[in-house]
Amino acid sequence: MPAPTRPLVASGHPDWPPVMYTDNGQIDGVGPALAKLIFADLGLTATFPDTGAWDVVQTKARSGEVDVLVAAYKTTAREEYMAYADSYITDPVVLFVKKGKEFSFAKNEDLIGKNGVGTVGDSYGQEFDDFIHAHLQLQRAASAKEALDLLESGKADFFIYSLYSGREELKTAKREANFTALPHPVTEEPFYLTISKKSPYLQYLPEINRLIQKYLADGTVAKLIAKYKAQFFIDQ
């Protein structure tokens, strides 16, 4: 296939550190940093704009307006319009609750009958997404702040979110005294780089996989993870 004639557009979730987040209108984090190395190796010109809320970013990947998502969980719905490269990091997903309102959570069924909240556009892996659809009442908030407000008011019993991103939100908002994460994770999901099936850059998927494996094997990915975790004061 001929080489694409326009720069590659890569984007991601604007608020999911340390894997991806917005900084001065650009997506930064472990995922973008790894993608930049890969695209440079392939001689590809790439941009990393913040293209909106996570559900909007996914819609743009579906249409081909965004070529690459720097990190995404794998779901059946997303596989319809994106090709998945190899995973390069795992992400613990937990339940944040209001302090004093902790409850025992060891298995998914413990959540039946409770009111949950998540953020718009987020997946928690296909297995837990299916469990939500079948058994839970989960309202969607526009942001982590809005979800925590619902917890604060008692309108939700738990907020399902990335452990790292949630800790960063609490620290930034100075709300660490009000909320805590339950110790048992809901899941620990692999993050994948994905390419829109409408993108002219889809042809590079085999080479992207080769370079992901190279950077996993030589320790580059581990160094990027350590760097961005340290930036957000996340325990190693």
**Does the pLDDT value for residue 1 go beyond 80?**
no
The domain 91-187 having CATH identifier 3.40.190.10: the answer here is: yes
What is the per-residue pLDDT across 162-184, written as a single tens digit (0 to 9) for each?
Answer: 999 999 999 989 999 999 999 99
* CA dist 126 → 65, 113, 123, 187 (Å): 25, 21, 8, 11
What is the per-residue pLDDT across 45-74, written as a single tens digit (0 to 9) for each?
Answer: 999 999 999 999 999 999 999 999 999 999
* CA dist 122 → 64, 119, 161, 212 (Å): 20, 6, 9, 24
Highest CATH level, class, for 8-90+189-231: alpha beta
C-alpha–C-alpha distance, residues 58 and 114, integer Å: 29
C-alpha–C-alpha distance, residues 154 and 26, integer Å: 35
What is the per-residue pLDDT across 208-233, written as a single tens digit (0 to 9) for each?
Answer: 999 999 999 999 999 999 999 998 76
Tokens for 133, please give them. Answer: 């659809």
C-alpha–C-alpha distance, residues 24 and 50, integer Å: 9
Q: Where are the alpha helices (DSSP H) in the chain?
A: 30-41, 54-63, 76-79, 126-135, 144-153, 163-173, 205-217, 220-231
- Fold match, 8-90+189-231 / 91-187: yes
What is the per-residue pLDDT across 96-147, written as a single tens digit (0 to 9) for each?
Answer: 999 999 999 999 999 999 999 999 999 898 899 999 999 998 999 999 999 9
- Domain map (residue ranges) of the chain: 8-90+189-231, 91-187
What is the per-residue pLDDT across 24-50, written as a single tens digit (0 to 9) for each?
Answer: 999 999 999 999 999 999 999 999 999
pLDDT of residue 234: 59
pLDDT of residue 137: 87
**Does the pLDDT value for residue 236 go beyond 50?**
no
pLDDT of residue 162: 92
Instruction: Give the three-class secondary structure for 81.
Output: coil
Look up the pTM and report it: 0.86
**Where on the phi/psi map is residue 162: left (φ > 0), alpha (ψ -120 to 50), or beta?**
beta
